[in-house]
Amino acid sequence: MDNITIKKLLTKVKKGDITIENALQSFKELPYKDLGFAKVDTHRTIRCGFPEVIFCAGKTPEQVLKIAGQIIKHGSDLLATRANKEIYKCISQQYKNARYNEKAGTIVIKKSRSKKKKGLILIVTAGTSDIPVAEEARETAEIMGNNVKVLYDAGVAGIHRLLSNQNDIMTANVIIVIAGMEGALASVVGGMVARPVIGVPTSIGYGTSFGGVTPLLAMLNSCAANVTVVNIDNGFGAAYVASLINSTK
Amino acid sequence: MDNITIKKLLTKVKKGDITIENALQSFKELPYKDLGFAKVDTHRTIRCGFPEVIFCAGKTPEQVLKIAGQIIKHGSDLLATRANKEIYKCISQQYKNARYNEKAGTIVIKKSRSKKKKGLILIVTAGTSDIPVAEEARETAEIMGNNVKVLYDAGVAGIHRLLSNQNDIMTANVIIVIAGMEGALASVVGGMVARPVIGVPTSIGYGTSFGGVTPLLAMLNSCAANVTVVNIDNGFGAAYVASLINSTK
Amino acid sequence: MDNITIKKLLTKVKKGDITIENALQSFKELPYKDLGFAKVDTHRTIRCGFPEVIFCAGKTPEQVLKIAGQIIKHGSDLLATRANKEIYKCISQQYKNARYNEKAGTIVIKKSRSKKKKGLILIVTAGTSDIPVAEEARETAEIMGNNVKVLYDAGVAGIHRLLSNQNDIMTANVIIVIAGMEGALASVVGGMVARPVIGVPTSIGYGTSFGGVTPLLAMLNSCAANVTVVNIDNGFGAAYVASLINSTK
Amino acid sequence: MDNITIKKLLTKVKKGDITIENALQSFKELPYKDLGFAKVDTHRTIRCGFPEVIFCAGKTPEQVLKIAGQIIKHGSDLLATRANKEIYKCISQQYKNARYNEKAGTIVIKKSRSKKKKGLILIVTAGTSDIPVAEEARETAEIMGNNVKVLYDAGVAGIHRLLSNQNDIMTANVIIVIAGMEGALASVVGGMVARPVIGVPTSIGYGTSFGGVTPLLAMLNSCAANVTVVNIDNGFGAAYVASLINSTK
Amino acid sequence: MDNITIKKLLTKVKKGDITIENALQSFKELPYKDLGFAKVDTHRTIRCGFPEVIFCAGKTPEQVLKIAGQIIKHGSDLLATRANKEIYKCISQQYKNARYNEKAGTIVIKKSRSKKKKGLILIVTAGTSDIPVAEEARETAEIMGNNVKVLYDAGVAGIHRLLSNQNDIMTANVIIVIAGMEGALASVVGGMVARPVIGVPTSIGYGTSFGGVTPLLAMLNSCAANVTVVNIDNGFGAAYVASLINSTK
Amino acid sequence: MDNITIKKLLTKVKKGDITIENALQSFKELPYKDLGFAKVDTHRTIRCGFPEVIFCAGKTPEQVLKIAGQIIKHGSDLLATRANKEIYKCISQQYKNARYNEKAGTIVIKKSRSKKKKGLILIVTAGTSDIPVAEEARETAEIMGNNVKVLYDAGVAGIHRLLSNQNDIMTANVIIVIAGMEGALASVVGGMVARPVIGVPTSIGYGTSFGGVTPLLAMLNSCAANVTVVNIDNGFGAAYVASLINSTK
Amino acid sequence: MDNITIKKLLTKVKKGDITIENALQSFKELPYKDLGFAKVDTHRTIRCGFPEVIFCAGKTPEQVLKIAGQIIKHGSDLLATRANKEIYKCISQQYKNARYNEKAGTIVIKKSRSKKKKGLILIVTAGTSDIPVAEEARETAEIMGNNVKVLYDAGVAGIHRLLSNQNDIMTANVIIVIAGMEGALASVVGGMVARPVIGVPTSIGYGTSFGGVTPLLAMLNSCAANVTVVNIDNGFGAAYVASLINSTK
Amino acid sequence: MDNITIKKLLTKVKKGDITIENALQSFKELPYKDLGFAKVDTHRTIRCGFPEVIFCAGKTPEQVLKIAGQIIKHGSDLLATRANKEIYKCISQQYKNARYNEKAGTIVIKKSRSKKKKGLILIVTAGTSDIPVAEEARETAEIMGNNVKVLYDAGVAGIHRLLSNQNDIMTANVIIVIAGMEGALASVVGGMVARPVIGVPTSIGYGTSFGGVTPLLAMLNSCAANVTVVNIDNGFGAAYVASLINSTK
């Protein structure tokens, strides 16, 4: 497109349909309007099956509804995260096919029939309290077309739960480990596999868990070299990256 | 192997060559010696072209030499990180083919002719001071058989440097962004691509950079959802994960 | 005024209307009542078109009303920040021309017809959630007589939005950059201009954003040398300084 | 310059000296080399009298010498900050006119005869230990063509020192306040003037000064609304911004 | 039990009732289901008189009821911590013998008649506000079959209260010291005895108590060498460890 | 009293009314009940006119009432701090002479006619929001029999307010400086006098005031050597120490 | 002893050899000189086989030698921790039987033939770098007469090393877990046993390990309830408490 | 003096020796040169026997010598703190009566024969490592003319040492408590007396002592209400305030 624009402009210059001064002005404005990477945004959606996402925290139901309307108009799948019941009520009145996962705080409106990606994304949590973050990750990974399994409540204090699911752990292409408290699970899982592990520290705990800082630090200092980390409670981000890893370039 | 061991044992039981009591004893000891995931360590090396790595910080040259000997005996490639000149001197006397990258602090002894992996790992740094960490990442990614490119000194305060290398950025399968100070580069690069970006905060800076905490926090809070993070100055870890991502399962 | 007071006193001394002892006593008390810089407060208002400001947080509607009354009696413009609806209701009953910006939390009562200052103050935000802080800045800058433009939702993860507004960015005399999360926007904008950039970190984010500490640290460590910083969410302070910069001495 | 380049190209197109295809190729490469804001760098130097700056920390004398050579070749003034004696020795052997301010850690090679800017930049320090940071600021402000005055050792515990220099404080267009310990000086000076005050916290102090964090926090929370802040010990940055404020747009 | 399982399997192999291949499959699954240390869980209950514990924070009454049902079905004592009144109401409708300690936030359903352990566990608090944590500890220690005494409100600012109870302090086998504010009590008690002291920092205090961080740090730095520490407000954990110490191996 | 107890015991021993063994037993229990410094508590009340104090935070109205009853029974003045309206209602039903200072959160029941101490305690606040803490300090200092003056809203950004009250500042025997934000007031006042200054940081502020940590740090690092510091918002503690200083030994 | 002193005094009173007034004076001084718990210090040594310990950090060789002389004169075993070579040289010249463990930084002079305590103390480390802390713990535990085993380099990233030593882990009466980085080992070991686990975080690591704060936080938040924690690198303290636990009361 | 200056000026006005305009000019300059509180500096010295103090940290021997010369010329006593041997050598060559306390890092040159103040200042330390800070306090308190006693190594883990010195503790007018580690000593001493206690946290300790932050926090949260705090290791400041308290107004 922008090649075409430039060609047209140069042709006009050649023909004398435009003065050099005016052409110069157009060129000065050009690069900031149509840079290649701006178009990437559009490409990205098509190539990855990635839906537009609304982060609902701090938005009113009306604001969310309005943004949702624009996304759906473009034919995309919709994923809304951190959505409370009130937002869901507002959305579902207009979009009957909206599906709400209360634990996850996600609303999903799925249009496309994106093919499942081949690799498995495994989501492991340390405790039952980490499940909301895990559900956000699961919803995200699934709407992005991944094959997802979950393994909940497999904390290291009862390491046999982890070991008895060794098969899934070994099979996964990417593993998302979600843990609060001391976050040791990421290291233990990381030591068991030769695939990327994405650690999601959660704000579960009390006292010196400092709202998730403790598992965050633990995961950043993991003795297993295959662990990278996202922000506290960021189940969405972990699943988004996992899905990118799971996509063949 | 351990399947074979178990089969032999079972065969002995069947034949009566061993009492059930003695077989039971063997089984009780078995899982802790030959668990599936222990063997993974060996598999991992073969499958990923991953060499054994020695983290030299806090080790004497003699200790490093001794560990290196064991690794080389098993026919593996050797990668030593955080190695000072003294360690290199000690290693190179015994192993003439040891190669030292002084900036990176790495020693490499390459035996295998591992095929290059197809995907490109691009390593981008914000400033010239981030180069040591980047070199550690480069050496790690290369010995693991990846196709690696570097783009140094492309900080956001002169964003045109970044834009003029847009092609490499677009082509890469994984991007490692290495930045100190405010670490904004990870977000800007993250916003340009639809591939995983691994942020490495560096301890470059002064005052409120707090030895790398500031870029670490910035990267964890990136407005680009495709950024995951490793520990401060952990060039090795970033490259290790990038290589895993770059490997087809 | 205080020159006049001193002159009067000296004249009385000269005329013998007051003893030297009594004059001495008056002089001892004088400097603490009428120091030059105390008068500056008054001068400041006249010269800069700067209104009195009420920081409403922690004040009752009645307290705000009372202070507002004193300001208006002196003929000043009024700016109240961090004002909730209840405060506005109380103020507007008495002052019908009070204007409330709910997003900004500001109440404005404008009396003077101060001429617009020539230079442009541009206010840029990273995300939509930063808008309340930006609105506080805009209201402050406008009542201080500045020419103000806003550029909302121009975060670095979609850097083309920023680039497509390059003209305003280039034209501004001072730029206020308002960003939460990782605050990278200040560095990117700072790298684009040769004018002062005032960074306002916002408390937008979760987990390791630590209520705005992360963008604060990022802005303090900006690789762009033209960035100075104010307290988290301090839109008022940023606009106040921007207006001072925009005033010819 | 790049306007000229574009004009030449357009003229060639007009004349038919170059095919449209080839011109297109040139334009595609153009924006990343000569983007508007990249040229600003050049403009900036001319308009503000701003020299190129080398941040010497972590660079070898040879590296600094090499970068200095490139800057001087372009006819710019040179400012090197955080330079130790060894670096100075290396630079001065080649450039006899290099001037070293040991306290400031700055090396200056001045070529241009930039006219003094009219406004006064006043640099105030709380204690004698803050002087190195102040000297870095003074050297920076002076090579950028500003009229600079210094007022050293005027801490708030002896507030009469400050008051007895009230005239300079009142006259200044911008004031840089440099203070360690509790950093109260920024608030007191800020309360005395209606001009921008740039606070530079210093790492002077012990115990709970935490290497400058305490005065940084104090300045960020200043009860005077005209204070903005730069990183700890960042005398260069403060002077750079002060000079921009001091420049008429 | 799992010894029995293995024996049965081996016997089948011996008899030819199962093929070696199928036995192999069973063995591959075995270690991850019935590892020795997994059985420890069961052993632990029997040997220590340790009941199953439900940490109620973040669980609904229904969830707690469901888990409680499973525990009681296995014949264990039940201890629920951090239980509010609503949870108690729900539990007590089904289990009439449930006992609620409102201060402690504990629900206890005791089935077994575990013999008292011989050693004394003494629980000392600094102030009356620390009592809820102390009560959680007391309930935990008692249901685990310990002989428990409490000494409340014995803070160091009135050290005579402590000294007048010297006899109990001297007699105890383990002492749990529960203190907020500056947590000095742990050091003073620690200096008085030659037995293990477990410090429980509490979140009692304001300002720089930082929700219990201050007493935590104080206890970790105790000048008495016999003090170990658990998380803030973790009365349960302290009592659990105290009970283990009090059990003869 | 305990001297009398010992004398009685010794007399009994002398008279043979008690065996030496029994006396020994009594003495063994004695020191921990009636240690010299325990009696100090009683002495302290008499000598300093210091009333018993109830810290109401976290106590129910009934608990406060009960403790108050015991204090009043002993004929002491009563001071209750951090008391809400509900507590006051409960207290005032029983004690009609109870006086509530709602801003301060204090309840006072004064019985004794303690003579005013001669020295003046001056309480200075930076802003109007610091007044609740100041009122707590004033009530405490007054019930302890001190001569108290207050100087509210004298922050350093308008230093003339401070200077115009120089006489009170100069006259005071102890000064309590109460400030939030950057806490600079303590240093400025400290620099003006040669008497002890007690700094009380307050939790007033937002963003990087971190609930009072910023003024706390500022006061600890005061460039005035006569400043000591108490916990955030601890108006009671400051006044208590000020009163001790104001008492002649 | 002090019983005897009191008896003598009482006998003198009875006999009239001392006036009641004088006896009273003696009693007033008594409790502060010979309190029961002061004698405990002596008892403690005898009962627990606990030697006097010299913490050498910050002491000169001469100071250590002098203190050592006093300890040895009393016939106690000597343990000196944090001792460098220079201190050892100084000590060993005088005491030929002094034994130095360079890794541990301990000097031991053993006189007594204390019987081994029955229970096993197991010391487990995560990495080879944790060994110095472990050696300090081992030396401490051994001189206190315990039966000690060590299991070094058993970090969770290679969990099979831990599992293959399950027997020792199961047998131990107390386990000391020493780990830097993310400290996950304490939770994993804690989950395997029903005995007290004492976590020692070490300062091993870089970046966000913050000198041991990360494993400290991890251990305090352990999902295993049997973990208590000591200060960073405090091998001595852990062993001291372990030995107390291992002593039958 | 300045009263005299003003009188002279007024007399000249009365006599007509100076015009009112010129007198006005003199008065305008006057307050900033001779403000009342500036003179306090001089008064302070005379009244409190307070010498000028040089804080040597970061000053060269020559700088210290130069400042010392000015002080001595004015006839004041000299106190230099944080002075190393090199500084002492330089000072003592010129001033033979300079006395160096190496532990304290203080140099004292005493001229005046100030009378001892009546009240006792007691300095108590927790451990032997706190003695340098205590010696700085002692030297400061003594040169300010106080009656000083020291009680070293009286930490709370052996509380009998404290109790056996109860008489001095009870007698003191002000107590300075100097402690590192957990700083519990301040609370225990504070609980024993009804006089002001000034806590000095020291940087003694390791790991989570965080260079003195732990005892600082402990002292700020003391359960004894008579404790105020100064900066870490600030023995000088504590003694300075103690001396002010000890001076009758």
Residue B47 has pLDDT above 70, yes or no: no
From A6-10, A106-110, E17-21, G235-239, the region with the lowest mean pLDDT: A6-10
Interface contact E101, partner F, CB < 8 A? no
pLDDT, position H235: 97
pLDDT, position F3: 57
pLDDT, position C43: 37
| B26 chain-E contacts, CB cut-off 8 A | none
pLDDT, position G8: 79
What is the number of other CB atoms lying within 10 angstroms of the CB of residue C113? 7
Residue range F65-96, pLDDT digits in tens = 988 888 887 777 889 999 999 999 999 999 99
pLDDT, position D31: 39
Three-class SS state of F43: helix
pLDDT category of residue H35 using cuts at 50, 70 and 90: very low
Residue F114 has pLDDT above 90, yes or no: no
Residue range C1-18, pLDDT digits in tens = 345 666 787 888 888 888
What is the number of other CB atoms lying within 10 angstroms of the CB of residue G217? 28
| Of H3, H24, H36, Cβ closest to residue C10 | H24
| A208 chain-E contacts, CB cut-off 8 A | 212-213, 216, 231-232
pLDDT, position D109: 93
CB pairs under 8 A between F and H: 98
Residue type (1 letter), E153: D
Residue type (1 letter), G60: T
pLDDT, position A168: 86
pLDDT, position G180: 94
Distance CA B30, CA B10 (A): 13
CB pairs under 8 A between C and F: 37
| D228 chain-C contacts, CB cut-off 8 A | 198, 228-230, 237-238, 241
Structure tokens at C74: 């002196």
| Of D165, D206, D208, Cβ closest to residue H216 | D208
F226: closest chain D residue by CA:
D157
Average pLDDT, rounded, for chain A: 84
Nearest alpha carbon to residue E177 among E235, E236, E224, E132: E235
pLDDT, position H229: 97
| B183 chain-G contacts, CB cut-off 8 A | none
Q: Do E23 and B35 touch (CB under 8 A)?
A: no
| H186 chain-E contacts, CB cut-off 8 A | 182
Residue range C194-233, pLDDT digits in tens = 899 999 999 988 999 999 999 999 999 999 999 999 999 9
Interface contact F38, partner E, CB < 8 A? yes
Residue E88 has pLDDT above 50, yes or no: yes
Residue C35 has pLDDT above 70, yes or no: no
E36: closest chain A residue by CA:
A160
Across the range H188-199, mean pLDDT stands at: 92
Distance CA C234, CA C137 (A): 8
Beta bridge partners of G122: G149, G175
E27: closest chain B residue by CA:
B6
Residue of H217, H219, H222, H228 to mutate when probing chain E, most E C-beta within 10 A: H217
User: What are the distances in angstroms from CA G202 to CA G216, G218, G233?
Assistant: 8, 12, 5
What is the number of other CB atoms lying within 10 angstroms of the CB of residue B202? 29
| Of D155, D188, D205, Cβ closest to residue F156 | D188
The alpha carbon of residue C183 is apart from the nearest alpha carbon of chain B, in Å, by 7
Nearest alpha carbon to residue D13 among F37, A8, C122, H87: A8
| C137 chain-D contacts, CB cut-off 8 A | none
Angle at A133 between CA A129 and CA A137, to 5 degrees: 145
Residue A48 has pLDDT above 70, yes or no: no
Query: What are the residues whose beta carbons fall under 8 Å from the beta carbon of D128, sequence distance 6 or more?
Result: D152, D153, H59
Residue type (1 letter), H176: I
Residue F33 has pLDDT above 70, yes or no: no
Q: Find where tokens 């052996």 sit.
A: H158
Interface contact E203, partner A, CB < 8 A? yes
pLDDT, position C3: 57
**Three-state secondary structure of chain D:** CHHHHHHHHHHHHHHCCCCHHHHHHHHHHHHHHHCHHHHHHHHHHHHHCCCEEEECCCCCHHHHHHHHHHHHHCCCCEEEECCCHHHHHHHHHHCCCCEEECCCCEEEECCCCCCCCCCEEEEEECCHHHHHHHHHHHHHHHHCCCEEEEECCCCHHHHHHHHCCHHHHHHCCEEEEEECCCCCHHHHHHHHCCCCEEEEECCCCCHHHHHHHHHHHHHHCCCCCCEEECCCCCHHHHHHHHHHHHCCC
Structure tokens at C235: 């839109």
Distance CA D206, CA F223 (A): 12
pLDDT category of residue C113 using cuts at 50, 70 and 90: low
| F2 chain-E contacts, CB cut-off 8 A | none
The alpha carbon of residue C164 is apart from the nearest alpha carbon of chain A, in Å, by 5
Interface contact F189, partner H, CB < 8 A? no
pLDDT, position F25: 64
Residue F24 has pLDDT above 50, yes or no: yes
Residue pair D174/D196 in contact by the 8 Å Cβ criterion: yes
Distance CA E215, CA E208 (A): 10
Interface contact F30, partner G, CB < 8 A? yes
Angle at F111 between CA F108 and CA F117, to 5 degrees: 85
Pairing of strands C106-109, C99-101: antiparallel
Which residues of chain G fall short of a pLDDT of 50?
1-2, 29-49
Distance CA G162, CA G169 (A): 9
| Of A166, A204, A207, Cβ closest to residue E212 | A207
Residue of A206, A209, A210, A233 to mutate when probing chain E, most E C-beta within 10 A: A206
Interface contact C42, partner D, CB < 8 A? no
Distance CA B232, CA B153 (A): 18
Burial class of C95 by CB neighbour count within 10 A (0 to 12, 13 to 18, 19+): middle
Residue pair G182/A218 in contact by the 8 Å Cβ criterion: yes
Q: Do F11 and G23 touch (CB under 8 A)?
A: no
Across the range F163-169, mean pLDDT stands at: 79
Interface contact C31, partner F, CB < 8 A? yes
CB pairs under 8 A between F and G: 45
Q: Find where tokens 């680009």 sit.
A: B224
Beta bridge partners of A224: none
Interface contact D158, partner H, CB < 8 A? yes
Q: What percent of chain C has pLDDT over 70?
A: 83
The alpha carbon of residue H127 is apart from the nearest alpha carbon of chain F, in Å, by 23
For residues F78, F79, F83, F88, the Cα torsion angle rounded to the nearest 10 degrees is 30
Distance CA B20, CA E14 (A): 9
Residue range H63-88, pLDDT digits in tens = 899 888 888 877 778 899 999 999 99
Interface contact H136, partner D, CB < 8 A? no
| G212 chain-A contacts, CB cut-off 8 A | none
Interface contact H207, partner G, CB < 8 A? yes
pTM over 0.95: no
Average pLDDT, rounded, for chain H: 84
Angle at C114 between CA C108 and CA C116, to 5 degrees: 100
B11: closest chain E residue by CA:
E20
| Of F35, F37, F231, Cβ closest to residue E207 | F231
From B231-240, E7-16, G79-88, the region with the lowest mean pLDDT: E7-16
Residue C40 has pLDDT above 50, yes or no: no
Residue range B77-128, pLDDT digits in tens = 889 999 999 999 999 999 999 999 999 999 999 876 667 787 999 999 998 8
H40 or E131: which carries more pLDDT confidence? Answer: E131
Pairing of strands A174-179, E78-81: unpaired
pLDDT, position F5: 63
Residue E70 has pLDDT above 50, yes or no: yes
Three-class SS state of H191: helix
Q: What percent of chain E has pLDDT over 70?
A: 83
| D211 chain-B contacts, CB cut-off 8 A | 207
Three-class SS state of C170: helix
Query: What are the residues whose beta carbons fall under 8 Å from the beta carbon of E22, sequence distance 6 or more?
Result: none
Nearest alpha carbon to residue F37 among H192, H169, H225, H196: H192
Residue type (1 letter), C63: Q
Q: Do H48 and F249 touch (CB under 8 A)?
A: no
Which residues of chain D fall short of a pLDDT of 70?
1-6, 24-51, 112-114, 158, 160, 248-249
| B28 chain-E contacts, CB cut-off 8 A | 3, 6, 36
- Alpha-carbon Rg of chain B, whole angstroms? 22
C4: closest chain H residue by CA:
H24
Residue pair A224/A31 in contact by the 8 Å Cβ criterion: no
Residue E46 has pLDDT above 80, yes or no: no
| For chain A, domain boundaries | 31-109, 118-248
A162-176, B2-16, D55-69, H123-137 — which one is most confidently predicted on average? H123-137
The alpha carbon of residue D2 is apart from the nearest alpha carbon of chain A, in Å, by 10
The alpha carbon of residue F240 is apart from the nearest alpha carbon of chain E, in Å, by 15
Average pLDDT, rounded, for chain C: 84
Interface contact F234, partner E, CB < 8 A? yes
Distance CA A76, CA B167 (A): 28
Residue C30 has pLDDT above 50, yes or no: no
Burial class of G133 by CB neighbour count within 10 A (0 to 12, 13 to 18, 19+): buried
Residue range A106-131, pLDDT digits in tens = 999 987 666 778 799 999 999 888 99
Average pLDDT, rounded, for chain F: 84
Three-class SS state of H127: coil
User: What are the distances in angstroms from CA B218 to CA A177, A230, B178, C194, G181?
Assistant: 22, 11, 12, 25, 22
What is the number of other CB atoms lying within 10 angstroms of the CB of residue C248? 9
The alpha carbon of residue A40 is apart from the nearest alpha carbon of chain D, in Å, by 17
pLDDT, position A244: 94
Q: Quick one: fold of G118-248?
A: Rossmann fold (3.40.50)
